[in-house]
Structure 1
Amino acid sequence: MAGEAETLEQLLFVYGTLRKNCSNSHFLSHAALVKNEAWIVGGQMYDTDLGYPVMSLTPTSSKVYGELYRIRKNEFEAIDQLEEGYERAVHTVYTDTGVEKAWVYTMDDSKCLEFTKIENGNWKEYLMIKEKPDDIYYFAYGSCMDEDRFKKAKVDHLFLNVIGGAMLQGYTTRFTVRLPDGGRADIVEDDGVTEGVLYKVPQDAVTYLYKREGVFENLYRPAFVDVNVNGRSYHDCLTFIVVDKKNELAPPDHYRAEIERGAERYLTREFFLKIVEHMSNLKINNI
């Protein structure tokens, strides 16, 4: 019985250097990634200026984004040592497919007074903005697979470096934004598989994408995913995910045409037919 207790699996929410592809991710090398997209409501993230963030709990609606893992109980010992000075407690964690209870490491707000607030609640996004790398991999799955609006906005020169059609495991393309003229694309983490176009873009492209995707209006939020292009893996590729997901709505004809052009040019024939069929079914069901 003692052995069973030591190997009992529990959920752990991580938001800083324990996240995938980050400096301490090796502590979770034997853990199972449950959700790449997970968040806590009522959290405030801070930069300690020591190479890692901390999070305090606050009576607000602010969010902290991270990942959800399933780990064995006896694996907490090493992580507890790493997170010395933190409090570990069970909190509510939200995902695209439901709500879970998971352990999370936090720090009392009174100990964070001299730290810098991370308003976006996403450590990976914060580092991208702070470090400003010359080039960033960007995964597009909606209208940005097509160059038409890039040309109209006179930013097509920022999106010339197309790596190719990319596969994203664990997600499905859906249309969860409801605008007056129809739906807009989103990816939902539901154990599906979707495809999109991978670009290598400069910083100016990121500035444009933040505006186009309505990041500052809280319509979409930046996220970071691992994709595969012709057998090669690309890690922490920037993409944009809908913040407040609604029931699906068929996209308008002009938006659908952009998706179809991009998908037909870059993605597999199987996926092209699949996304066309899905958009057609939405149109029929929404009539």
Structure 2
Amino acid sequence: MYAFVYGSLRKNEQNHHFLEGASLISEQAWTSGELYSGSSYYPLLIKNEASLAYGELYEIDEGMLQQLDRLEGYREKDPDSLFKRETSAVHTQQKSYSAYVYYYPHPPEGKPVLHRDWKVEQLLKKESYYYFAFGSCMDQERFYKSGVQNLFQKIEGGAELQGYHLGFSYHRADGGRADIIERSGDSVEGVVYNITGKALDYLFRREGVTNQVYRPVVVEVTLHNGPVVEALSFTVIHKKENLTPPLHYAREIHRGGRYYLSKNYMERLEQRLQHELPVNEFTKYLQQME
């Protein structure tokens, strides 16, 4: 059986220990409904077929389900239960599942959760936070052209995001743009910045967040110098098949990553951009960089 969680039961959150021993299926899952901030420390999911809520999907057993029922104040056939457990369709990038979801059956409390993701909203309440860049934002050139270079000067170093694959699933007229896509056994490397809300405004514009191109996510990355941290990143909402990126974009990724990413990762990236997704004149660019 499966359970979709969207608040304090999520990874690294207050009640995640109730899922100890559960198997993570996806940390970028979604289902229908609208999240509200609520009046306590946890969010509320209201049934709404016209909206989406992001969260995590786990495979659980009967004992875990009973624990979740107690935590959520759910009692079968009791109309006064704090939450109501229902079976709903929960989607991942790979497939859809029938999973248990705890809905709040009472009038909503608080405000709608920003970006439909409670972990993102919680992270953005901080004065500063980590940002994991895996594509063109590893490079500083466009920061300088936009006059925001001072907002991206605190660089923590290179980092690895496990359980994801580097895709190029957002299509523009001149080619694909980078994306992180869940894939077991794979990993994506990138650069971690320490940023504030001023940098966030720029990133939201650049990533097309208001136009539903990319959405903000919270991911757990391991810095090359040791620490494991939660960081803001972005993923494409409407993913398509990989499309070869243009030379200027491939150049930004390579130039931005070469001082921070591992030699092995950079070599694999170079191979992909020459053979799997052959970028016109990328080999010539590499020769010039030698």
**Does TM, normalized by the shorter one, top 0.5?**
yes
Which string of whole-angstrom CA distances, capped at 9 and with x for unpartnered residues, describes residues 55-107 of structure 1?
122231x2100011122211122211110121112111111211112111112
Which residue does 1:16 correspond to in 2?
A: 7
- Structure 2: which 5+ residue stretches go unaligned? 74-81, 281-290
The equivalent position to 1:171 in structure 2, one of 164, 177, 192, is 164
Greater Cα offset, 159-168 or 223-232: 223-232
**Which of 63, 68, 74 matches 2:63?**
74
| Shift of residue 233, structure 1, vs aligned partner | 3.5
Identify the match of residue 228 of structure 2 among 205, 227, 234: 234
Contact 2:215 2:235 in 1 (8 A): yes
Is the aligned partner of 1:99 residue 2:96? yes
Q: What are the residue-to-residue correspondences of 1:47-196 with 2, within 5 Å?
A: 47-60=37-50, 62-84=51-73, 85-108=82-105, 111-118=106-113, 120-129=115-124, 131=125, 133-191=126-184, 192-196=186-190
Judged with a 3 Å threshold, the aligned counterparts in structure 2 of structure 1 residues 283 and 34 are, in CA distance, closer, same or farther, namely: closer
Q: CA deviation at 1:120?
A: 2.3
Deviations 1:187-239 (A, max 9, x none): 10011111111111122111111111110000000001111113533332100
Query: 2: distance between equivalents of 1:98 and 1:278?
Result: 26
* CA distance in structure 2 between the aligned counterparts of 1:236 and 1:80, rounded to whole angstroms: 28
Match for 2:128: what amino acid?
D
TM-score relative to the length of structure 1:
0.90
Sequence identity, in percent? 38
User: C-alpha separation between the residues in 1 aligned to 2:41 and 2:116?
Assistant: 16
Query: d(CA) in 2 for partners of 1:204 and 1:284?
Result: 36
TM-score normalized by the length of structure 2 = 0.89
Checking the alignment, whether the CA contact within 8 Å between 2:219 and 2:233 is kept in structure 1 is: yes
Per the TM alignment, residue 279 of structure 1 is displaced from its structure 2 partner at its CA by 2.1
Cα pair distance change 1:285/1:148, threshold 3 Å:
closer
Moved over 3 A (4+): 282-286
CA-based RMSD = 1.7
Number of aligned positions between the proteins: 271
